[in-house]
Chain A
Amino acid sequence: MSQSTHEIIVPAHAAALKEVRNTFREVVQSWAPDCAEMLILALDECCSNVVKYRCKNLGDGNIRVRAEHHPGLIRFRIGDFCTKKDVEKIRPRDLDDVKPGGLGTHFVKEIMSRISYEADPNHPEAMTLVLEKDLP
């Protein structure tokens, strides 16, 4: 079965988010034209969370982003950014409450089929966020 993979590493800074979007927009468009823009939104929201909550927009770290296309599946892997304690704090918002907090998490949960986290046994505090989208 065919598989395609693209990966970039960018500074963990808001200014790098556009580079992530531009890098993956065309390739995701070729994999899933019907939902490409929403998938890019989900990817961008996760990278934004890295910048905002993990790296505090200081630009002193990196984000590793990998996109994989498998038959019937697109997977994003967003590298080593979040402690388990941080992950447990992340909750989608209550949609009856229109305050903006948690909106990005809501988008990701609505767009993606599955969200999981992988720990690195060699780096106990590091985790990789894994987003998967089933394709028709």
Chain B
Amino acid sequence: MLEIQTESAGETVTVAAFGEVDLEVSPDFWTAIEGAIAITQRLRIRLADVSYIDSSGIATLVKALRHAQKYKVDFALIDPSDQVRAVIELAQLDRLFKIETSAQ
């Protein structure tokens, strides 16, 4: 099960995911991100509480990045969990995404 929370603070919208991102729930994750891209110029995806992500989840993040670039939205991932970071690195996409810590 995946829980998604969207919060606004100033000019930044943060989409935070909690749980596991897989083939079943990736469409919901995309819907939340797509909606956020429509309302902000600065989007952060918080992945600290994602305990599992598969290729469909990574594909959703790639799609989100491309969509954000198209609409000139500043896009970054925040605090990816160890599993998420490992899968991003396995995909050799760590140089593609801007990855930040919440302290930044």
Contacts and interface: CB of A to CB of B under 8 A. Distances in A.
Is chain A's interface secondary structure helix, strand, loop, or mixed overall? helix
A66 interface: no
Interface string B72-92: 000000000001001100111
Given A100-B63, A103-B91, A51 B23 contact: yes
Interface in A22-40: 37-38, 40
Interface of B: 1, 20, 22-24, 52, 54-56, 58-59, 62-63, 83, 86-87, 90-93, 96
30 contacts: A14-B23, A17-B23, A17-B24, A18-B1, A18-B24, A37-B52, A37-B83, A38-B86, A41-B52, A44-B22, A45-B54, A45-B55, A48-B22, A48-B55, A48-B56, A51-B23, A52-B23, A95-B92, A98-B62, A98-B93, A100-B55, A100-B58, A103-B55, A103-B58, A104-B55, A107-B55, A107-B87, A107-B90, A107-B91, A111-B90
Given A18-B1, A104-B56, 16 more contacts: A14-B22, A14-B23, A15-B24, A18-B24, A37-B86, A40-B52, A41-B54, A41-B90, A44-B54, A45-B54, A48-B56, A98-B62, A100-B58, A100-B63, A103-B55, A111-B90
